[in-house]
Amino acid sequence: LIGEAVGKQEEAKKVIDNFKQKVKDSKEKLDRAGVMDKTFTLIESDSGKTLMIFGNKYGRGGEIFYDYLDLKAPDIIEKEIIDADQYRELSLEALPEYCGDYVINSTWGGPNILADNDIWNNIKAVKEGRVIKTSGELYFYADIYSINLQLDKFVDAILDTTNR
């Protein structure tokens, strides 16, 4: 739409086609690494002791994980958040129920409230080193240029967990 509005349809098509190819290549890499059948949870924490769980809307990488890469969310997130087109605040006590094989932990400024918490540190993904830390500021946006960069960073981070 933007390409059409500014008379650069061919350039816009090229950007979109390149992104689609990158998604396809990324899925193949993740499949070879054996992670396409794993579950992924996107949480956001801040220094104000708030936890939020996100699905495939509202940035934070959800579009990349669930829509483009076709990665799975835990059933509870699929039902309560993705199917309901929502995000939700969550208590720390409820967090283990929502955590999948991988946890993407986005923070907004300040220290991560989870770092020294016993509940967090006993979650399987945390104990097994499958937490990917991101900043809310970088992963908030879902435009083509932002998600292109996010795709690279997420895929590299996931693959890093499989190369240990």
In the prediction, which pLDDT does 5 show?
Answer: 85
Q: What share of the chain is helix, strand, coil (3-state, %, to 5)?
A: 50, 15, 35
- Cα(65)–Cα(82) distance, rounded to whole angstroms? 12
Nearest to 125 by CA among 39, 46, 6, 52: 39
User: So what's the pLDDT on residue 110?
Assistant: 65
Is the whole-model pTM more than 0.85? yes
The residues near 15 (Cβ < 8 Å, ≥ 6 apart) are 3, 144
Q: What is the pLDDT of residue 111?
A: 67
Q: Give the per-residue pLDDT at 47.
A: 58
Q: Which two structure tokens, joined as six digits, stand for 77? A: 């997130």
Determine how many CB atoms are found less than 10 A away from the CB of residue 81: 26
pLDDT of residue 145: 84
Q: Give the pLDDT score at 54.
A: 84
User: Which residue type occupies 151?
Assistant: L
- Half-sphere CA count of 133, side-chain side, radius 13 A: 12
The secondary element (H helix, E strand) that includes residue 16 is helix 9-32
Counting as low any pLDDT under 70, the low residues of the chain are: 46-49, 109-112, 136-138, 140-141, 164
pLDDT digits (tens, 9 = 90+) for 70-88: 999 999 999 998 888 888 8
Asked whether the CA dihedral 124, 117, 85, 155 is positive or negative, the reply is: negative
User: Residue 132 to residues 37, 120, 136, 153: CA-CA distances in angstroms?
Assistant: 17, 14, 12, 10
Predicted confidence at residue 98, as pLDDT, reads: 94
Please report the pLDDT score of residue 8 as a whole number.
84
pLDDT score for 55:
77
